[in-house]
Chains A and B, each alone.
Chain A
């Protein structure tokens, strides 16, 4: 299995292109220098953006057996402090001008725009031997619940992705997703172990520079969550001349059927492959994909398990479902299933709780040909622009700020219900803490409940009731 400790073999090849080309040799040198400053195996935070510093730091931490928690560089200061207090990292790798860290901590090393901040009152961490990396479970509610990933998890998943996407050293992906997001990270991992060149940019896809870079750097592939595809459609992607592009991937939630058809057609016309895929952070990233030649016939399907993985269905009674067209919980087995969660410091010493088996919480059925279709979700989770959000966590986030609310919703549509006249204040909290859109806040007279007091989420109104 290819890991980051074998990427020396790519030597003078270009690892990343950003302001200029950086070879694998140069990346490794920079990455290992950062880690030498950190020292022995310990816990660090890495504040990620799509820049060379974040990637080099990440590569170095994995090579040097330092465990990083990857966070978005724009994380709200209150949430960052909360995580620091809870997990007590010894160092934070972040922009050297980070206003919050700059005031409180000294830096011990600098590379590019980043610096290594040394945390005061560092503790000695008890880290499980297999633990490689921590990712957050929810992009934006700031939940301290983390997914514990092992070295085997990361590189098994990368290897599997390399095999079904046929990634080679001539591939040139461009960044379209945050690297602290499991899908974005899987693109980086699978391409670095292949000796490919990653074009790294902060420019979003609706900026001219992004497309200029795609052309100039002969980009061959990129990935996107459903929202990215909505924007591509709006940008009239079909009219763009991008001859180097050969492969598009999609994950992070179900693409709406009309859009899936549009991209299936246009990719076919342009001679590109279009991969629709399914996964969760709890499985490192990827669990299934739809082989592109089935995009039409198996429209709406999450496809088949990735190489090395297995998908099965389990009935409510806990029995395996083997007949087609029966709905049950989707279960995944594979070497990429995370070790487990961490909710507090002692959890970082825990071993492999999941034992290679993940209950996805998604409800699905399998057709006669063995293709899986998701029909619903067991947990109160929605995806907002590709980021998973727990409705209970949103309720909690509002409750601790004095707003007693009930939340419901579907993907990209979050509804918040309040009994008080505090909609403006709620809106402000959501905007500051979650930085999200597509939120409707409604004031209602009473929360509908059943006889045993359980909230009837389905009975909540989806629009303003006219009060007379």
Chain B
């Protein structure tokens, strides 16, 4: 599984969304499944999937599909390209 697939899988498991959801448009507080509770589950999924620790500063900055990728890049995850 490449990194993007791994990232999407964390969303599928963490937010309980379908596999063909439009991930790129997802936003905390806008996407129905991405509420407070979903956010914490998603964070836990990402930490497990990428073996990283996401601290509180970053938990509060992560609010879109793209911002999560940027966050993981800063934590040293290589998404290729």
Q: How far is the CB of A34 from chain B (nearest CB, A)?
A: 26
Contact in complex: B29, A204 (CB < 8 Å): yes
Kindly state the separation between the CA atoms of A231 and B37 in the bound complex, as whole angstroms. Answer: 9
Contact in complex: B56, A239 (CB < 8 Å): yes
Contact in complex: B61, A235 (CB < 8 Å): no
Kindly state the separation between the CA atoms of A206 and B41 in the bound complex, as whole angstroms. Answer: 12
Contact in complex: A206, B39 (CB < 8 Å): yes
Contact in complex: A234, B59 (CB < 8 Å): yes
Contact in complex: A211, B60 (CB < 8 Å): yes
Determine chain A's interface SS by DSSP, over half rule. loop
Contact in complex: B29, A207 (CB < 8 Å): yes
Cβ-defined partner of B60 (8 Å) among A208, A230, A385: A208
Q: How far is the CB of B27 from chain A (nearest CB, A)?
A: 11
A-B contact count (CB 8 A): 47
Other than A207-B29, A210-B60, give 9 A-B pairs with Cβ distance below 8 A.
Answer: A204-B39, A206-B28, A206-B39, A206-B60, A227-B37, A385-B37, A437-B37, A437-B38, A437-B41
Which residues from A are CB-within-8-Å of B40? 206, 230-231, 234
Cβ-defined partner of B36 (8 Å) among A231, A236, A239, A240: A231
Kindly state the separation between the CA atoms of A204 and B63 in the bound complex, as whole angstroms. Answer: 11
Q: Which 6 A-B pairs have the closest CB atoms?
A: A235-B56, A208-B60, A236-B56, A204-B36, A437-B37, A206-B39
Kindly state the separation between the CA atoms of A210 and B59 in the bound complex, as whole angstroms. Answer: 12
Q: How far is the CB of A109 from chain B (nearest CB, A)?
A: 28
A208-B61, A437-B38 are known contacts. Are A202 and B56 too (CB-CB below 8 A)?
no
Contact in complex: B29, A235 (CB < 8 Å): no
Determine chain B's interface SS by DSSP, over half rule. helix
The reply on B35 being an interface residue by CB < 8 A is: yes
Counting chain A residues whose Cβ lies within 8 A of the other chain, the interface size class is: 20 to 34
Query: What 1/0 flags go to A193-205 for Cβ under 8 Å of B?
Result: 0000000001111
Contact in complex: B29, A202 (CB < 8 Å): yes
Residue of B nearest to A233 (CB): B56
Kindly state the separation between the CA atoms of A385 and B56 in the bound complex, as whole angstroms. Answer: 21
Contact in complex: B32, A235 (CB < 8 Å): no
Residue of B nearest to A438 (CB): B37
Q: How far is the CB of A263 from chain B (nearest CB, A)?
A: 16
Kindly state the separation between the CA atoms of A78 and B36 in the bound complex, as whole angstroms. Answer: 24
Which residues from B are CB-within-8-Å of A234? 40, 43, 56, 59
A231-B40, A236-B56 are known contacts. Are A431 and B29 too (CB-CB below 8 A)?
no
Kindly state the separation between the CA atoms of A205 and B29 in the bound complex, as whole angstroms. Answer: 11
Query: What 1/0 flags go to B1-41 for Cβ under 8 Å of A?
Result: 00000000000000010000000000011001001111111
